[in-house]
């Protein structure tokens, strides 16, 4: 009787492990950020008469393409991940998932995301999503082994989600879709410099050309974080200057931008684990709080604080 219970539990445990491994290939934290950013971009494009389920559907297809990019990225970097302590236990380098199965998952997610956008929304959003996927997998991923410019190139698809949401719901790239993508582009650099500094030994061991991992470049990484933190301030306030947002957003964005800049400057000055973790923490708070500001601003006129029909 005891053996029967063990045999009944074991398949469920194996199934949970397999599910967890395939989910890990999609990088759920990044996918969640993409989903949130695409939803906000689509919501702002749709306006106060937005149908929430339709906006959520667009965000779902966009997230599928992002999950595909993360999966195929790990297929191409499985040898690199095997040499890094923080990634050596990922499903592919550990051997728990085969490259063939990961490729099938990535291809399936890409097909679902691109087809969903083309059939349910518009061809332009599907083409942009496909281009984003191509740049991330075919350009950014191999460039990481060659040049520190990989960070700039990777920031382009990394900033695409709000624009894709905007295009899916409105058919054109305009207004908040462009503004939030510009914010995301600048936001990524201090965020990533903090991560790369914390794991610089891993990156160096794997042979990846990340700025903090190169000899004598730690101070350059700090200055780059500070420069982009400074650039983020005017970029984030620009919608208010153009009249797309009011004082609520403008004041809040200025405060958030100053906090992010201060955290970046502290990291540039000290370059230690505490300042890097502090910058990383502030970066993780910045985007959700900025999205709350956008959706709660009376001039913008959409979001939870204004209600939906």
DSSP-based three-state secondary structure for 219: helix
Distances (CA, A) of 22 to 90, 101, 103, 108: 10, 9, 11, 13
DSSP H stretches of helix in 90-214: 99-120, 123-134, 141-143, 150-158, 161-170, 175-198, 200-206
Instruction: Confirm whether 10 is domain-assigned.
Output: no
Instruction: Confirm whether 273 is domain-assigned.
Output: yes
Q: Are residues 33 and 67 in the same domain?
A: yes
Q: Give the pLDDT score at 174.
A: 87
Instruction: Confirm whether 152 is domain-assigned.
Output: yes
Q: Are residues 291 and 213 in the same domain?
A: yes
Q: Are residues 207 and 79 in the same domain?
A: no
CA atoms within 13 A on the CB side of 128: 25
Instruction: Confirm whether 2 is domain-assigned.
Output: no
Of 14-28, 59-73, 81-95, which one has max mean pLDDT? 59-73
Q: Are residues 50 and 122 in the same domain?
A: yes
| pLDDT band (50, 70, 90) for residue 305 | very low
Q: Are residues 162 and 60 in the same domain?
A: yes
Q: What tokens were used for 109?
A: 């997610």
The mean per-residue pLDDT over the stretch 8-31 comes to 83
148 vs 35: CA distance, rounded Å: 28
Is a pLDDT exceeding 80 seen at residue 254?
A: yes
pLDDT (tens digit per residue) in 111-137:
999 999 999 999 999 999 999 999 999
Q: Are residues 186 and 151 in the same domain?
A: no
Instruction: Confirm whether 140 is domain-assigned.
Output: yes
Which domain, by its residues, includes 255? Answer: 178-309
| pLDDT band (50, 70, 90) for residue 302 | low
| pLDDT band (50, 70, 90) for residue 259 | very high
Q: In CATH, what number is assigned to the domain containing residue 287?
A: 1.20.120
Q: Give the pLDDT score at 54.
A: 95
Is a pLDDT exceeding 80 seen at residue 185?
A: yes
Q: Are residues 147 and 247 in the same domain?
A: no
The CB density around residue 207, as the number of other CB atoms within 10 Å, is 12
| pLDDT band (50, 70, 90) for residue 10 | low
DSSP state of 140: I
Q: How big is the CA angle at 55 (ends 49 and 56), to the nearest 5 degrees?
A: 140
Is a pLDDT exceeding 90 seen at residue 300?
A: no
Instruction: Confirm whether 6 is domain-assigned.
Output: no
The mean per-residue pLDDT over the stretch 179-207 comes to 93
The mean per-residue pLDDT over the stretch 270-295 comes to 94
pLDDT (tens digit per residue) in 275-286:
999 999 999 999
pLDDT (tens digit per residue) in 209-244:
888 878 877 778 889 999 999 999 999 999 999 999
Helices 161-170 and 28-46 sit at what angle, rounded to 10 degrees?
40
Q: In CATH, what number is assigned to the domain containing residue 32?
A: 1.10.357.140
Q: How big is the CA angle at 21 (ends 19 and 26), to the nearest 5 degrees?
A: 100
Q: Are residues 193 and 250 in the same domain?
A: yes
Q: Are residues 55 and 166 in the same domain?
A: yes
**Nearest of 161, 67, 175, 172 to residue 123 by alpha carbon:** 172
Q: Are residues 169 and 182 in the same domain?
A: no
Last residue of a domain, one of 143, 173, 203: 173
Of 12 and 293, more confident: 293
Q: Provide the domain count of the chain.
A: 2
Last residue of a domain, one of 173, 195, 220: 173
Start-to-end CA span in the chain (Å):
57
Instruction: Confirm whether 18 is domain-assigned.
Output: no
Last residue of a domain, one of 173, 198, 217: 173
pLDDT (tens digit per residue) in 148-168:
899 999 999 999 999 999 999
Instruction: Confirm whether 9 is domain-assigned.
Output: no
102 vs 98: CA distance, rounded Å: 6
Q: Are residues 186 and 290 in the same domain?
A: yes
Q: Give the pLDDT score at 11.
A: 65
Q: Are residues 36 and 153 in the same domain?
A: yes
């Amino acid at each position: 009787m005891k053996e029967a219970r063990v045999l009944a539990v074991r398949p469920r445990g194996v199934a949970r492990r397999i599910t967890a491994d395939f989910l890990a290939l999609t990088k759920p934290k990044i996918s969640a950020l993409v989903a949130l950013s695409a939803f906000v971009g689509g919501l702002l494009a749709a306006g106060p008469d937005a149908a929430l389920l339709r906006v959520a559907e667009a965000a779902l297809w966009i997230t599928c393409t992002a999950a595909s990019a993360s999966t195929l990225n790990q297929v191409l970097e499985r040898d690199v991940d095997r040499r890094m302590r923080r990634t050596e236990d990922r499903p592919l380098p550990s051997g728990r998932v085969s490259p063939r199965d990961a490729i099938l998952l990535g291809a399936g997610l890409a097909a679902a995301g691109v087809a969903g956008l083309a059939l349910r929304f518009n061809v332009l959003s599907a083409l942009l999503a496909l281009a984003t996927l191509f740049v991330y997998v075919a350009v950014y991923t191999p460039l990481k082994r060659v040049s520190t410019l990989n960070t700039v190139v990777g920031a382009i698809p990394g900033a695409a989600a709000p624009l894709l949401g905007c295009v899916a719901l409105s058919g054109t790239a305009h207004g908040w879709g462009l503004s939030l993508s510009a914010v995301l582009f600048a936001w990524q650099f201090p965020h990533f410099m903090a991560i790369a500094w914390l794991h610089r030994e891993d990156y160096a061991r794997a042979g990846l050309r990340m700025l903090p991992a190169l000899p004598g470049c730690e101070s350059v990484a700090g200055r780059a974080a500070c420069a982009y933190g400074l650039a983020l301030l005017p970029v984030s306030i620009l919608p208010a200057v153009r009249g797309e947002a009011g004082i609520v957003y403008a004041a809040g964005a200025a405060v958030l931008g100053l906090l992010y800049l201060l955290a970046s400057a502290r990291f540039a000055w000290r370059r230690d684990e505490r300042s890097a973790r502090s910058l990383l923490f502030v970066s993780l708070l910045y985007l959700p709080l900025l999205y709350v500001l956008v959706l709660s601003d009376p001039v913008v006129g959409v979001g939870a604080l204004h209600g939906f029909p």
